[in-house]
């Protein structure tokens, strides 16, 4: 008796399994495409050159002789609790830079003045 019930349920179970698989595949097809994540960086070093008009800053850290970074137009620049403009930053200051690697180079989104002579 039990065997007959199972035999009768067989096609129904197959249909339910197919519907479940179809739903799972439809959900996967509608998934968002993967966006490549940008790599972040943090650098501490001495400002060796600055071009406020071009929004470029060169910083020499313990790991390199000087790297040119592009400062994002919306970057926050702080010295203590005081907000600065890029033109206020001076050569010889020690700064901490945070930003992201872009295909065009390193883009700074935050600058903190660690030491100003």
Taking the domains of the chain in order of start, what are their residue ranges? 1-31, 40-115
End-to-end CA distance of the chain: 93
Q: What is the pLDDT of residues 47-57, one digit of tens each?
A: 999 999 999 99
Contact partners, residue 48, CB within 8 Å, separation at least 6: 58, 59, 60, 66, 91
pTM of the full structure = 0.67
Mean pLDDT (whole number) for 2-30: 52
Kindly indicate whether the domain formed by 40-115 is annotated with CATH number 3.40.50.300. no
- Is 88's pLDDT higher than 70? yes
**Which residue, among 40, 112, 41, 28, has the nearest Cα to 77 in the 3D structure?**
112
């Amino acid at each position: 008796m039990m065997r007959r019930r199972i035999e009768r349920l067989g096609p129904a179970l197959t249909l339910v399994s197919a519907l479940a698989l179809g739903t799972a595949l439809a959900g996967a097809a509608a998934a968002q495409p993967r966006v490549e994540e940008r790599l972040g960086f943090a650098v501490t070093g001495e400002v060796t050159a600055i071009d406020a008009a071009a929004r470029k800053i060169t910083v020499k850290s313990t790991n390199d002789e000087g790297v040119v970074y592009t400062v994002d137009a919306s970057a926050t620049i702080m010295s203590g609790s005081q907000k600065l403009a890029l033109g206020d930053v001076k050569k010889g200051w020690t700064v901490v830079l945070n930003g992201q690697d872009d295909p065009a180079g390193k883009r700074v989104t935050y600058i903190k003045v660690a030491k100003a002579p």
